[in-house]
């Protein structure tokens, strides 16, 4: 794409690689080699380039504005590694130093200067992974995600957070050991304050300096792929930091944000909302998404706070209805559809995930069915219901058993991911283990049962770091995980970690748990009415009809000679029991191989009887079928 076309398509919202035009690039004028700088500030009165090569404000370089509002200057003074900013005289006369919105690399915070740096194309060595990804996709494959905040997974002895060079050496072997299929990072794009966890972005193309270099993150992704692990990243196209040296009111007028003051301001989060209907903003954001997918070989993007982009009344501030009198943000809805259309056209094997908590808009329905076109949506309703249930005293669970069963009514209304995310283990909500009812032993028993239920319920899976070994304390963004829990004398955390690893491998090994995640063809309810005993029985199936019988006892009462109906006569073997000693339970061995008996049980003509562990899960498969 030549310069004229790049500029034109930026204005029409059809330039999806704006980083090739804006920012800083090696260039030449005549025989002179140097760098060209370009920035969009259509209503600025003046823009000058300042940096190490101008002694900052001492010798600023004047920039020239074209008809599209883009300021440009060529200079031979700049050198690789030097820092620069733009000195913008806003409409009204105020002069401010501004970061480069399309910078690929920023200095270490709290600085916001961009760095003159040419990022070279990497010679990737993940061709086998990328080929398999293109061939098999992900919809009918196992997806079990370990969610990570890069700054707090682990720290050095001096308290410095691991960068991605260290995470490559330690996190990837841990992911392999724990049998996860994917790792998802809270935002790794440049952000001014760690306290925001990365969700108040300022650099939509820049890798967060505290995590290392872009090349180190590329190497991390490559190593993940070589170990058969996919990499997902969180991305925030709805709102951005209101810091005055970043995108906020860049030229003194609403540049990236809405014209309307209330629509521009996100009162709940103290941020500014992108004007998602503006062509240039669409070019900017879609270019950002594609940059992370293409430059870093990312396997998926989780779009944060989708509700904020879909509904005018989502925020706490004043709002006005749209032209049809409703609360839908029409620009936001159309932007999300266009984002997914562009990404899926170019990269159909990349996962697009929405963090969205309402049911008013179809999120994963196809674009031709008025959906938003995402591949997956977080199932927030399931998450809230099941965590409320497992935190209750078992005495009362019989009265709230619908919290367990209601999700089967809408399990396939969307394509869901079942999340136990970072949001559930902060701000006084307690850690996953601490949410569980009872003493320490029963808390771990409940947690094992909960995770087994998550694995067996239709939908892909996500678990936040630390939850896999039952960390007791809430997550703190500036502290590493409580790895010392694994040294506790009772070894319950260590056994919990081992159980999660075993469960994750069990998930991968059994197609019935992931091959049909989007229809009732992969699910059969044996008994969802046993509220008195708080026991749920379901069947998961693969495309050949092979099945797993999954039984969950939600109370701390062992049930001998527990009987359920099953569709096939046969010899059944227990393939998972959450109460084994190796997992932290009290059973020395699981149930013996068991033969079904003829007999009518609900609509089933065969029964299976066994001992159901207290506050535990028992999962069975057919070892050998018997003739009728």
Q: Same structural domain for residues 341 and 435?
A: yes
Give the model confidence (pLDDT) of 420-441 as tens digits. 999 999 999 999 999 999 999 9
Indicate the burial class of 488 (C-beta count within 10 angstroms; 0-12, 13-18, 19 or more): middle
Q: Are residues 411 and 352 in the same domain?
A: yes
Residue position matching structure tokens 């089933």: 604
| Among 483, 513, 543, residue at a domain's last position | 513
Q: What are phi and psi of 520, to 5 degrees?
A: -70, -5
Q: What digits encode the pLDDT tens for the residues 150-198?
A: 999 999 988 899 999 999 999 999 999 999 999 999 999 999 998 899 9
Residues in Cβ contact with 368 at an 8 Å cutoff, skipping those fewer than 6 apart: none
Q: Given the residues 208, 222, 299, 304, select the one marked as catalytic.
A: 304
pLDDT attached to residue 226: 98
Judge if 495 and 534 occupy the same domain. Answer: no
Six token digits for residue 476:
């703190």
Q: 508 and 609: one domain? A: no
372 in the same domain as 300:
yes
pTM above 0.95, yes or no: yes
Q: Are residues 43 and 165 in the same domain?
A: no
Residues 192 and 247 in one domain: yes
Q: Which domain holds residue 64?
A: 3-115
Here the CATH number for the domain that contains residue 17 is: 2.60.40.10
**The pair of three-digit structure tokens given for residue 592, joined into one six-digit string:** 């013996």
What does the pLDDT look like over 45-101, one tens digit per residue? 999 999 999 999 999 999 999 999 999 999 999 999 999 999 999 998 999 999 999
Residues 381 and 330 in one domain: yes
Q: Do 90 and 169 belong to one domain?
A: no
Query: Does any domain span residue 487?
Result: yes
Q: What pLDDT, on the 0 to 100 scale, is given for residue 259? A: 96
Q: What is the pLDDT, as a whole number, of residue 159?
A: 87
Specify the pLDDT at position 453: 98
Q: Is residue 445 part of a domain?
A: yes
Q: What is the reported pLDDT for 119?
A: 87
Q: Kindly indicate the confidence band of residue 35, based on its pLDDT and cuts at 50, 70 and 90.
A: very high
**Angle between the N-to-C axes of helices 492-509 and 440-456, in degrees from 0 to 180, rounded to the nearest 10:** 10
Report pLDDT for 31. Answer: 87
Instruction: Give the 3-state secondary structure of residue 377.
Output: strand
Considering the domain architecture, whether residues 364 and 474 belong to the same structural domain is answered as yes
Task: Examine the domain organization and report whether 306 and 383 are in the same domain.
Answer: yes
Cα–Cα distances in angstroms (integers) from residue 539 to residues 143, 212, 412, in the given order:
19, 46, 16
Task: Please tell me whether residues 428 and 286 are part of one structural domain.
Answer: yes
Asked if residue 202 has pLDDT above 90, the reply is yes
| Percent of residues, the chain, with pLDDT higher than 90 | 95
- CATH number for the domain spanning 370: value is 3.20.20.80
CATH of the domain at 527: 2.60.40.1180
Strand 230-235 relative to strand 300-303: parallel, antiparallel, unpaired? Answer: parallel
Rounded to an integer, the average pLDDT of 227-252 is 97
Whether residue 600 lies inside any domain: the answer is yes
Identify the active-site residue in 107, 184, 275, 355: 355
pLDDT digits (tens, 9 = 90+) for 382-403: 999 999 999 999 999 999 999 9
Q: How many domains does the chain have?
A: 3
Residue after which a domain boundary falls, among 478, 513, 548? 513
Q: Does residue 310 lie within any of the structural domains?
A: yes
Residue 135 lies in a domain: no
* Largest pairwise CA distance in the chain: 92
Q: Say whether pLDDT at 249 is over 70.
A: yes
Residue 127 lies in a domain: no
pLDDT at 628 over 70: no
Distance CA 449, CA 300 (A): 29
Model confidence over 562-596: pLDDT tens digits? 999 999 999 999 999 999 999 999 999 999 999 99
52 is catalytic: no
Residue 309 has pLDDT above 80, yes or no: yes
Which pLDDT belongs to residue 2?
86
Helix (H, G, I), strand (E, B) or coil at 506: helix
pLDDT score, position 1: 79
Q: Between β-strands 271-273 and 265-266, what pairing exists: parallel, antiparallel or unpaired? A: antiparallel
109: which 2 tokens? 């915070």
**Residue-wise DSSP of 263-304:** HHEETTTTEEEB-TTSHHHHHHHHHHHHHHHHHS--SEEEE-
Q: Write down the pLDDT at residue 157.
A: 87
Active site (annotated) includes residue 579: no
| 63 vs 46: CA distance, rounded Å | 8
Mean predicted confidence (pLDDT) in 206-232: 97
To 5 degrees, how large is the angle CA 212–CA 214–CA 218? 110
Domain assignment of residue 348, yes or no? yes
Q: What is the CA radius of gyration of the chain?
A: 27
469, 490, 513: which is the final residue of a domain? 513
Residue 616, domain member (yes or no):
yes
* pLDDT tens per residue, range 120-159: 899 999 999 999 999 999 999 999 999 999 999 999 988 8
Q: What does each C-alpha distance from 559 to 24, 310, 412, 576, 616 come to in angstroms? A: 69, 48, 32, 17, 11
């Amino acid at each position: 794409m030549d310069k004229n076309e790049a500029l034109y398509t930026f204005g029409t919202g059809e330039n999806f690689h704006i980083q090739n035009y804006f920012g800083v690039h090696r260039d030449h004028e005549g025989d002179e080699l140097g760098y060209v700088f370009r920035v969009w500030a259509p209503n600025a009165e003046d823009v000058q380039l300042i940096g190490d090569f101008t002694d900052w404000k001492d010798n600023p370089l004047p920039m020239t504005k074209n008809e599209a509002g883009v300021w440009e200057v060529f200079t031979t003074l700049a050198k690789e590694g030097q820092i620069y900013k733009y000195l913008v005289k806003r409409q009204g006369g105020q002069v401010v130093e501004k970061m480069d919105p399309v910078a690929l690399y920023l200095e270490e915070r709290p600085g916001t200067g961009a760095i003159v740096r040419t990022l070279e194309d990497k010679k990737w060595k993940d061709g086998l992974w990328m080929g398999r990804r293109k061939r098999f996709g992900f919809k009918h494959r196992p997806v079990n995600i370990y969610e990570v905040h890069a700054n707090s997974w682990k720290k050095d002895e001096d308290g410095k957070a691991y960068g991605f060079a260290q995470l490559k050496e330690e996190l990837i072997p841990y992911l392999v050991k724990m049998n996860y299929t994917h790792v998802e990072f809270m935002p790794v794009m440049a952000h001014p304050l760690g306290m925001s966890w990365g969700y108040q972005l300022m650099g939509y193309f820049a890798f967060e300096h505290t995590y290392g270099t872009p090349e180190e993150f590329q190497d991390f992704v490559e190593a993940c792929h070589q170990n058969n692990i996919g990499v997902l990243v969180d991305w925030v196209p709805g709102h951005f930091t209101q810091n005055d040296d970043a995108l906020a009111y860049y030229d003194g007028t609403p540049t990236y944000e809405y014209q309307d003051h209330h629509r521009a301001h996100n009162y709940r989060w103290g941020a500014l909302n992108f004007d998602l209907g503006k062509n240039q903003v669409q070019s900017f954001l879609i270019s950002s998404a594609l940059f992370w997918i293409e430059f870093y070989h990312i396997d998926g993007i989780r779009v944060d706070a989708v509700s904020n982009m879909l509904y005018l009344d989502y925020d706490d501030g004043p709002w006005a209805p749209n032209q049809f009198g409703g609360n839908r943000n029409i620009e936001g809805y159309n932007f999300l559809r266009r984002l997914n259309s562009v990404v899926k056209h170019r990269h159909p094997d990349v996962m697009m995930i929405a963090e969205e908590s309402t049911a008013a808009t179809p999120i994963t329905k196809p674009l031709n069915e008025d959906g938003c076109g995402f591949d997956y949506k977080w199932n927030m309703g399931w998450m809230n219901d099941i965590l409320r249930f497992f935190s209750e005293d078992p005495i009362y669970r019989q009265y709230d058993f619908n919290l367990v069963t209601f999700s089967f009514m809408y399990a396939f209304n969307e394509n869901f991911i079942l999340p136990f995310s970072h949001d559930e283990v902060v701000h006084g909500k307690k850690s996953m283990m601490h949410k569980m009812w009872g003493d320490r032993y029963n808390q771990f028993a409940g947690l094992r049962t909960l995770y087994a239920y998550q694995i067996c319920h239709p939908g892909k899976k996500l678990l936040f770091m630390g939850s896999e070994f039952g960390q007791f304390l809430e997550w703190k963004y500036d502290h590493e995980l409580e790895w010392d829990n694994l040294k506790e004398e009772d070894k319950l955390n260590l056994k919990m970690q081992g159980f999660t690893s075993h469960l994750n491998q069990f998930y991968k090994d059994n197609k019935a748990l992931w091959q049909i995640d989007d229809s009732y063809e992969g699910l059969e309810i044996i008994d969802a009415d046993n509220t008195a005993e708080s026991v749920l029985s379901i069947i998961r199936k693969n495309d050949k009809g092979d099945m797993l019988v999954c039984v969950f006892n939600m109370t701390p009462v062992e049930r001998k000679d527990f009987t359920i109906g099953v569709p096939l006569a046969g010899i059944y073997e227990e393939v998972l029991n959450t109460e084994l000693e190796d997992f932290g339970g009290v059973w020395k061995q699981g149930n013996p191989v068991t033969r079904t008996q003829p007999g009518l049980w609900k609509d089933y003509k065969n029964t299976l009887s066994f001992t159901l562990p207290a506050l535990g899960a028992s999962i069975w498969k057919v070892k050998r079928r018997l003739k009728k």
